Amino acid sequence: MDLTYLIGQVDPAEAFGELAPPVQIALFLGAMSFATAALVSLTAFTRIIIVLSFVRRALSTQEIPPNQVILGLSFFLTLFVMAPTMENINTNGVQPYLLAQQSEGTKGDFTVMQLWQVASDEIRVFMTAHTRGNDLQLFVDLSQTPQPSAASEAPLKVLIPAFIISELKTAFVMGFCIYIPFLLIDLVISTVLMSLGMMMMPPVIVSTPCKLLLFVLVDGWQLISKALVSSFVV
């Protein structure tokens, strides 16, 4: 059964208020876990955090920056990238819904179903713009759904996994391009140490400061942030 139809049949305020407090808490925690999954699966978060993880691995700095810093930077870069989408959802969905709930005369003019439709349409536009056609076609074939006339008309059960694997591929391509210069530094340092007869000295001890110096001189974090944000510009 269509999820949009089910949402439209329920008044969330009345239904939620009639539940016992423990059930309300359980539903709230479940909704929070779903929101986390949506953040990872339906936004720019996946690409950003994978690329930042590649940067940390390429620098050979182990846990520097810490995981909390990587997660925080990924989260706020995601908010920055998703700002136009969230603004459209707020303007066309959340605000009309809140206005309809506050005004008794217009209550019901803008329902939860309409809010869900606006939010899903805006997210669909973002995902469609960053989903490869061959990835979308793969899940259309696997699900045996009718061929959509346009990518924007594909059902969410097809579009979401196609979007995720497209983001994974893009993130790994960007990570590979970032990794190459640092790999060259490792090779040069290893060659120099071997030519000096210092074969017992781990190359990473010398290459890590060199990579950090190069990264700081070119203002690496600014370049990485610019590349990540620019990669979502259609």
Please tell me the predicted confidence (pLDDT) of residue 1.
44
Torsion of CA 121, 123, 124, 127, to 10 degrees: 170
Please tell me the predicted confidence (pLDDT) of residue 13.
47
Mark the ranges of the chain whose per-residue pLDDT is less than 50: 1-14, 16-17, 106-107
Domain boundaries, the chain: 43-179
Please tell me the predicted confidence (pLDDT) of residue 202.
74
Please tell me the predicted confidence (pLDDT) of residue 172.
92
Please tell me the predicted confidence (pLDDT) of residue 110.
65
